[in-house]
Amino acid sequence: MRNSSGNSRPENINKIYSRLYKFYGPQGWWPGRSRFEIIVGAILTQNTAWTNVEKAIAALRGRGYLSSPAKLHRLRTEELSSLIRPAGYHNVKASRLKNFTGFLAADYGGSLDKLAKTDTVLLRKKLLEVNGIGPETCDSILLYAFAKPVFVVDAYTKRIFSRHGLFDETTSYEDVQDIFTANLPSDAAKFNEYHALIVKLAKDHCRKSPECKNCPIYGVKIVAKKVS
């Protein structure tokens, strides 16, 4: 059986980006009206379809709770949980949202501007210490809310690029991230678009049929220079 990781057409990570961008065009991520909305969305979308997240965001926005982190922080956890119910896992996510707003209040006086000025490496470390913020949520916040040049890895990235021979499916989050970072210019706009394009590709082709010949990277073996 011929699979899509066949070695007939080797291309590098940067070239795959160009190919996807030409095929799909700009994706306009992240869908959010403010930095805080993007952060809330990043937590709510954990293992959840975005259409469900939109309902929860709309409920919060309609009541003015997304106008400032402090406002959301003052909301009772039970009520917050009830408002975000459509996004699923509403009890854990309500706690996670309040963990973030609590962290912001305690360490940055509730100021997203102050947080934005923090050194990226330090900020990443601190965000990962917040219960409920793991690597993908953390990096989504850094990239999409604060335009930091951090590559976001998700289940789609692993599925697609392992299928095309770039790494083994069991490769860790950090190792996958290092491969992309080492093979692309450190450009937040490009990281933004690339991750969004991977999600688009996954939804468009690679979930239902890895053998789909209309896929823009069908039959391509993706290669990378070694991570030092």
Partner DNA sequence: GACCAGGCACATC
Partner DNA sequence: GATGTGCATGGT
| Chain residues in the site for DNA (CB under 7 A) | 29-31, 41-42, 45-52, 55, 85-86, 88-93, 130-138, 140, 144, 154-156, 170, 172, 199, 202-203, 207
> Rounded to the nearest whole angstrom, what is the least distance from the CB of residue 150 to DNA in the complex?
13
> Rounded to the nearest whole angstrom, what is the least distance from the CB of residue 210 to DNA in the complex?
12
The CB-based long-range contact list for 58-67 (8 Å cut-off, 24+ gap) reads: 59/83, 59/84, 59/86, 60/84, 61/33, 61/37, 66/33, 66/34, 66/36, 66/37, 66/40
> Rounded to the nearest whole angstrom, what is the least distance from the CB of residue 81 to DNA in the complex?
7
Q: Which is nearer to DNA, 10 or 62 (CB)?
A: 62
DSSP class of residue 164?
A: T
Please check whether residue 123 is in contact with residue 112, taking contact to mean a CB–CB distance below 8 angstroms: no
Tell me, what amino acid is at 204?
D
Q: Which is nearer to DNA, 88 or 102 (CB)?
A: 88
Q: Which is nearer to DNA, 48 or 67 (CB)?
A: 48
Please, where are the H alpha helices in 75-187?
A: 77-83, 90-108, 112-116, 120-128, 135-140, 155-163, 173-182
Q: Which is nearer to DNA, 18 or 131 (CB)?
A: 131
Q: Which is nearer to DNA, 111 or 171 (CB)?
A: 171
> Rounded to the nearest whole angstrom, what is the least distance from the CB of residue 111 to DNA in the complex?
23
> Rounded to the nearest whole angstrom, what is the least distance from the CB of residue 77 to DNA in the complex?
11
Q: Among residues 71, 54, 43, which one has the least CA distance to residue 131?
A: 43
